Amino acid sequence: MVVKTSIDRVVFVSVIHTDTDSLEEARRVVLETEPDVVAVELDHARYAQLTNPDVSEEDFIPDSGDMISQLLNQIALLEDGLGSLSGTSAGEEMLAAIEAGKKTGAKIALIDRPIHATAQALLKIPLDEIYKMTNLIPDATEDIQNGGAVDIMAILKEDGAIDKLMDEFREEFPNIAKVLIEDRDEYIADAILTLLGDVDGKVVVVLGAGHIDGVKKALQRALKAKSAS
């Protein structure tokens, strides 16, 4: 008996935010696969900000406490710095996948955890860890603005680079990593599981490269639990 919620029906597309090659890859895979659903790493607030020029990053980043808002804004500025040099903004690869999905008649699913829920979870993290990361990001942004974006993109595309970066991030910022990576992996996996139960065809899932491994593992656990119940 073929289980309707088989992971074999999921086509994962690993992207690097602000990378033009990733944008084209996301578009290509959707057009070639012609899936029932295109699921992207966006929540409704982020999608509104990307598609409405009147919505600024300050509008969708919640005012959840000075340090948390500052951290989220610093991450957004870091991505803006990469985007200004690479020629594509963070989120454009998701919009490209959505556009391609609409052309093929696919349903569109926004499967990321709502930013407000993520911000509330960050409030529970010890402030020293929040301060430590917030203070590091401006230096990274300055390095990018001084011309390091091309080198960074090249490094990130090397085999094993993303996995190594994620391991270092978890070691340096374990609590932040849990909220920004692991908890969102679980949320996204649950969303994919729901989609697999709703449609019979393929589901293309476009995710940042740092989420791919965690989401796959979380989805496999969820499918195993579902088949055992």
Domain coordinates of the chain in residue numbers?
Answer: 7-228
Written as tens digits, the pLDDT of the chain (229 aa) is 234 557 899 999 999 887 888 999 999 999 999 999 999 999 998 899 889 877 665 555 655 557 787 788 777 766 765 655 555 677 899 999 999 999 999 999 999 999 889 988 998 999 899 888 888 777 666 666 665 555 666 666 777 778 888 999 999 999 999 999 999 999 999 999 999 999 999 999 999 999 999 999 999 999 888 877 7
Contact 106/26 with Cβ under 8 angstroms? no
3-state secondary structure 122-153: HCCCCHHHHHHHHHHHHHHHHHHHHHHHHHHH
Apex 33 CA angle, 31 and 35, nearest 5: 100
Where does residue 167 rank: exposed (0-12), middle (13-18), buried (19+ CB within 10 A)? exposed
Token pair of 1, please? 């008996």
Tell me the pTM: 0.86
CA 48, CA 35: separation in Å to the nearest integer?
Answer: 24
The residues with which 14 forms a beta bridge, in sequence order, are 207
Q: How far is CA 98 from CA 43, 89, 109, 198, 205, in A?
A: 13, 15, 9, 19, 11
